């Protein structure tokens, strides 16, 4: 079976889940590509979403629309598939554990809606995203320790957020060789995407079937 056939064979929700983070990444890459003065070392990714800022490149409106639309679209899609997953499962610890992820997806959507032009709202939702997602991993990791076949994923879920914690601690305390927020933001995003894709792979492989409500 070819890769294309495997992709076509995925459940629609899983396919959307795999694609959703790519939308944000592609839009970030495009926004950076048309911003010749954007500096990964000194800027924040949110600078790309400012509708009138011209110091990082021309056409700020176009750049901001691409960047903000990408984040908002990804956030909305993640909310939709998360609600669908919550509707299917009958395991209350998992439902509770997924709430921080749902909130994080909401914050991601809000970042795309309330750009840097809308501070302090933008700052609040940005901090909210980078705080809630580690807790989403931790909550799920702790919840699934009950299932021996998921222990390896639990270890990943419990340890991976500490990479982001260190990156942010090092950035804010001047330990790491950059002053802007772009690098810790993208690195944190990559850990989140990795976690989401592993989660979805488990679902596609039927490893989470014990959580699903089966009709009589």
Give me the pLDDT at residue 64, please: 97
At 114, is the secondary structure helix, strand, or coil? coil
Residue segments in the chain with a per-residue pLDDT below the cut of 70 = 1-8, 213-216
Give me the pLDDT at residue 3, please: 57
How far CA 104 is from CA of 75, 98, 158, in Å, comes to: 8, 10, 17
Give me the pLDDT at residue 216, please: 40
Evaluate whether 30 touches 71 at the Cβ level (below 8 Å). Answer: no
Full-model pTM: 0.92
Measured distance CA(95)–CA(106) in Å, rounded: 16
Reading the block at residue 57, the tokens are 């490149």
- The predicted-structure confidence for 121-131, as pLDDT tens digits, reads as follows 999 999 999 99
Give me the pLDDT at residue 12, please: 84
Give me the pLDDT at residue 158, please: 97
Nearest to 25 by CA among 205, 185, 144: 185
Give me the pLDDT at residue 5, please: 61
Give me the pLDDT at residue 8, please: 66
Give me the pLDDT at residue 215, please: 43
């Amino acid at each position: 079976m070819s890769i294309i056939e495997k992709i076509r064979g995925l459940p629609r929700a899983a396919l959307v889940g795999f694609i959703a983070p790519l939308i944000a990444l592609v839009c970030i890459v495009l926004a950076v590509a048309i911003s010749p003065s954007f500096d990964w070392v000194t800027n924040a990714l949110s600078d790309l979403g400012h509708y009138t800022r011209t110091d990082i490149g021309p056409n700020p409106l176009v750049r901001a629309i691409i960047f903000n639309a990408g984040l908002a679209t990804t956030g909305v899609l993640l909310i939709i598939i998360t609600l669908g997953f919550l509707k299917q499962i009958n395991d209350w610890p998992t439902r509770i554990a997924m709430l921080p992820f749902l909130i994080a997806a909401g914050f991601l959507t809000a970042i795309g809606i309330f750009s840097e032009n809308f501070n302090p709202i933008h700052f609040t939702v940005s901090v909210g995203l980078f705080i809630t997602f580690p807790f989403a991993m931790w909550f799920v990791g702790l919840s699934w320790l009950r299932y021996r076949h998921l222990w390896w994923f639990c270890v990943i879920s419990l340890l991976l957020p500490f990479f982001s914690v260190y990156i942010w601690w090092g950035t804010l305390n001047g330990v790491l060789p950059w002053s802007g927020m772009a690098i810790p933001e993208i690195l944190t995003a990559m850990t989140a995407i990795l976690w989401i894709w592993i989660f979805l792979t488990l679902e596609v492989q039927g490893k989470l079937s014990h959580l699903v409500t089966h009709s009589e």
